[in-house]
Chains A and B, each alone.
Chain A
Amino acid sequence: MDKIELIVCIKQVPLVSELPWDPKTKTLRREMAEGMMDPAAKHALEAALQIRKVMEEKAVAGKKKIRITVITMGPPMSEEVLREALAMGADSGVLLTDPRMAGADTLITSKILGAAIKKVRPDFDLVFCGSAASDSETGQVGPQLAEELDVPAAAYVERLDIENGHIRIQRLCDNFLETLEMDLPALVTIPPRTFFPRHVPLGGLQQSFEGGDVRTLLAADIALSPDLYAAKASPTKIVNVFSPTAEKENIRLRGAAKKVVEELFRRFEDRIGGAAGKDLKISDLKIPE
């Protein structure tokens, strides 16, 4: 490979979580919202930036050109997150915006993103997506996009290495650490956990607004079928929308070490084994009385 094409799909989401839902359409009233780059997508971008740095350091002699293209679909103001991505270090941005794309569900979004990638970077090597966007938490676009592009995919990736045409990844799955390999081109989704995004440099921001490479593509530019209107074509019907609530409880276990450990295992045995990476039974432990 003399050059490597990395694509990062990013999404602009509302800045605050407490936003008015439209009770009729059961969607978010986005016009009321200030936007920000979805946290998982930002981690995905950070992962791409880090892997580029690692590869550039490895290939000092080979001088491989590694290019990062960020793509977003949304209203015109989504350009903000592309500019931010350029300031963080991406090379170019693509804004997919068209009234015909409005109201797309995850399936149609994946189809549109797939069409755009095939159009602008047909020779892509690796696509990064956030594992799930903070506004709707479906986690569907990444895997569906892999189907659309007909490439292998791995979700919830926490470590990755690219070498000789394939990618090795690690992910936490059912509380076990998995190592997988895939041939390139491929797609990964990144959870907002491991690749903590860098702060955005102000100089980079100024430059990205002055001369950053951002192009806008309409439905016709990516050869979407002329009778495709995203809102009509989306099969998803939203039945209900709710905010998940998490209940927290502080528990203090008291008593002798043995008693505390026994109680800990009684309550959390399944999770202890997962965290330790192997099945752990209380009988395996030697606990002083």
Chain B
Amino acid sequence: MDFNPCMKHKVVRKTVREFAEAELGAIAAELDREARFPREVAGKMGPLNYFGLQIPREYGGAALDSISYAITVEELSRVCPAMGLCITVHNSVGAFPILAFGTQAQKSRYLPELASGERIGAFCLTEANAGSDAGGVETHAVADDAGNYRINGTKIFVTNGGICGLALIFAVTAPDDPKRGASVFIVESEMPGYSVGEIEDLCGMRANPVSSIFLEDCPVTVDHLLGKPGDGLKIGLKTLDTGRIGIAAQGLGIAQGAFEASIRYAKERQQFNRPIASFQTIANYLADMATEIDAARLLLYRACALKDSGKAFGEAAAMAKLYCSAVAVKTADKAVQIHGGYGYSKEYEVERFYRDAKVTEIYEGTSEVQRMVISRAVLNRLV
């Protein structure tokens, strides 16, 4: 067991950090304030492979390992969590399912466009009556005699919704079959019957255009079906396992950003003629932050290492997601506390981290769902 980062991972971290600080550092607050997705930065990220992090080279991707992937999302989120969100969702739940479950024709057709960032991906599961319970999905796809489908339904809270060029739609194809009743379809945004709703007015992650997506009689040929009819739940669960690594990395990045801001502030801020870092209470906050961030990072990288070695990683990813998101929320909360009144002001980045952190406990499986996943695994293993 070796806990030292290898040379490649150190260089990946430096590379992404340099990019994020140079291209996003100065504008992250403005993007949040204006709820604007920075297309100009995304345009630069395409040729640098940020949209094809784990896509194989033959399709134009970077072919990175999972720890490098996690480090990339972590470092983007340390500066601009909303961009970290765009990248992790695109890579893990937009591109990954096509890579894992697509036919050769689907991979050749879609992966190059996804890897270059020409099409930004999204995964559409959530609906008004279906979130943690995928069984509540009402969007349905009806097959005709030729095996082609028409999709109808409304998806909500779609991350990347407003900029999405390729949406994976989770829809019911056999309403009477609870286990194999759902399927996943690849829907291109220019297809008839596809439209995007208003951008949601959310608490955090405001630079990401989260929206509803409407499907009205959207006709998809059978070659848009991902996997076989009825594979929906299987694809969904596998995709979420991968997605959880990304959201864990995002939470970790937010915690790291909030922590570093707190260190700087605690050293600078003078009260009673000395820096507040010299007060034991503040120093203890910093010590707890450092310890929890380190623990979160080890959990996350272990899940990544399991994934890369081809072992089952669902439970480890759930633990990483549960813990990293909790650490994000707690660290951002303490960061605001350390900053005092200034921390509550939009002038300081910790206010943004505070708002951005919360959703990491909600999307890609709430913390309650992660506990369900973990407890099931534990109960099955230990008799």
Please name all residues of chain A whose beta carbon is closer than 8 Å to the beta carbon of B16 when the two chains form the complex.
202
Residues 11-57 (chain B) with a chain A CB within 8 angstroms = 11-12, 14-16, 18-19, 22-23, 44, 47-50, 52-53, 57
CA distance A201 to B61 in the complex (A): 11
Residues 14-28 (chain A) with a chain B CB within 8 angstroms = 15
B44 contacts A199, C-beta separation under 8 Å: yes
Please name all residues of chain B whose beta carbon is closer than 8 Å to the beta carbon of A207 when the two chains form the complex.
57
A221 within 8 A of B: no
A205 within 8 A of B: yes
B68 within 8 A of A: yes
- Residues 203-225 of A, flagged 1 when their CB comes within 8 A of B and 0 if not, give 11111010000000000000000
B7 contacts A205, C-beta separation under 8 Å: no
A80 contacts B12, C-beta separation under 8 Å: no
Interface size, A (range): 10 to 19
Secondary structure type dominating chain A contacts: helix
Selected from B8, B49, B50, B57, the residue in CB contact (under 8 A) with A83 is B8
Within the complex, the shortest CB–CB distance from A198 to chain B, in Å, comes to: 9
CA distance A205 to B50 in the complex (A): 12
B64 within 8 A of A: yes
Please name all residues of chain A whose beta carbon is closer than 8 Å to the beta carbon of B57 when the two chains form the complex.
203, 207
Given that A36-B14, A84-B15 are known contacts, is A202 also in contact with B7, CB under 8 Å in the complex?
no
B44 contacts A209, C-beta separation under 8 Å: no
Selected from B48, B61, B64, the residue in CB contact (under 8 A) with A199 is B48
CA distance A15 to B67 in the complex (A): 22
B72 within 8 A of A: yes
B53 contacts A202, C-beta separation under 8 Å: yes
Selected from A203, A204, A205, the residue in CB contact (under 8 A) with B8 is A205
B346 within 8 A of A: no
Please name all residues of chain A whose beta carbon is closer than 8 Å to the beta carbon of B63 when the two chains form the complex.
203, 206
Given that A80-B7, A83-B7, A209-B7 are known contacts, is A202 also in contact with B48, CB under 8 Å in the complex?
yes
Please name all residues of chain B whose beta carbon is closer than 8 Å to the beta carbon of A209 when the two chains form the complex.
7-8, 11
Selected from B18, B22, B64, the residue in CB contact (under 8 A) with A206 is B64
Please name all residues of chain A whose beta carbon is closer than 8 Å to the beta carbon of B18 when the two chains form the complex.
199-200
A79 within 8 A of B: yes
CA distance A34 to B11 in the complex (A): 10
Please name all residues of chain A whose beta carbon is closer than 8 Å to the beta carbon of B10 when the two chains form the complex.
34, 80
Selected from A79, A199, A206, the residue in CB contact (under 8 A) with B62 is A206
A200 contacts B52, C-beta separation under 8 Å: no
CA distance A200 to B50 in the complex (A): 11
Selected from A15, A79, A200, the residue in CB contact (under 8 A) with B15 is A200
B68 contacts A203, C-beta separation under 8 Å: no
CA distance A84 to B11 in the complex (A): 7
Please name all residues of chain A whose beta carbon is closer than 8 Å to the beta carbon of B8 when the two chains form the complex.
83, 205-206, 209
Please name all residues of chain A whose beta carbon is closer than 8 Å to the beta carbon of B61 when the two chains form the complex.
203
A77 within 8 A of B: yes
Within the complex, the shortest CB–CB distance from B336 to chain A, in Å, comes to: 26
CA distance A36 to B11 in the complex (A): 9
Interface size, B (range): 20 to 34
- Residues 69-88 of B, flagged 1 when their CB comes within 8 A of A and 0 if not, give 00010000000000000000
CA distance A163 to B16 in the complex (A): 37
Residue of B nearest to A200 (CB): B15
Within the complex, the shortest CB–CB distance from B90 to chain A, in Å, comes to: 14
B64 contacts A201, C-beta separation under 8 Å: no
Residue of B nearest to A210 (CB): B63
- Residues 84-100 of A, flagged 1 when their CB comes within 8 A of B and 0 if not, give 10010000000000000
CA distance A203 to B59 in the complex (A): 12
Residues 127-185 (chain A) with a chain B CB within 8 angstroms = none
Which of A84, A201, A204, A205 counts the most B-chain CB atoms under 10 A from its CB? Answer: A205
Please name all residues of chain A whose beta carbon is closer than 8 Å to the beta carbon of B50 when the two chains form the complex.
202
Given that A206-B62, A206-B63, A206-B68 are known contacts, is A201 also in contact with B11, CB under 8 Å in the complex?
no
A203 contacts B52, C-beta separation under 8 Å: yes
Please name all residues of chain A whose beta carbon is closer than 8 Å to the beta carbon of B52 when the two chains form the complex.
203
CA distance A15 to B63 in the complex (A): 27
Apart from A77-B7, A199-B48, A200-B15, what 18 extra A-B contacts exist at CB < 8 Å? Answer: A15-B14, A34-B10, A83-B7, A84-B15, A199-B22, A201-B48, A201-B49, A202-B12, A202-B48, A202-B50, A202-B68, A203-B63, A205-B8, A205-B11, A205-B12, A205-B15, A206-B63, A209-B7
Residues of B within 8 A of A (CB): 7-8, 10-12, 14-16, 18-19, 22-23, 44, 47-50, 52-53, 57, 61-64, 68, 72
Nearest 9 Cβ contacts at the A-B interface: A203-B62, A203-B49, A209-B8, A202-B62, A202-B49, A200-B15, A201-B48, A199-B19, A80-B11
Write 29 A-B pairs (CB below 8 A) sorted by A numbering: A80-B7, A80-B10, A83-B7, A84-B15, A199-B18, A199-B44, A200-B15, A200-B18, A200-B19, A201-B47, A201-B48, A202-B15, A202-B16, A202-B50, A202-B53, A202-B62, A202-B68, A203-B52, A203-B57, A203-B63, A204-B49, A205-B62, A206-B8, A206-B62, A206-B64, A206-B68, A207-B57, A209-B8, A209-B11
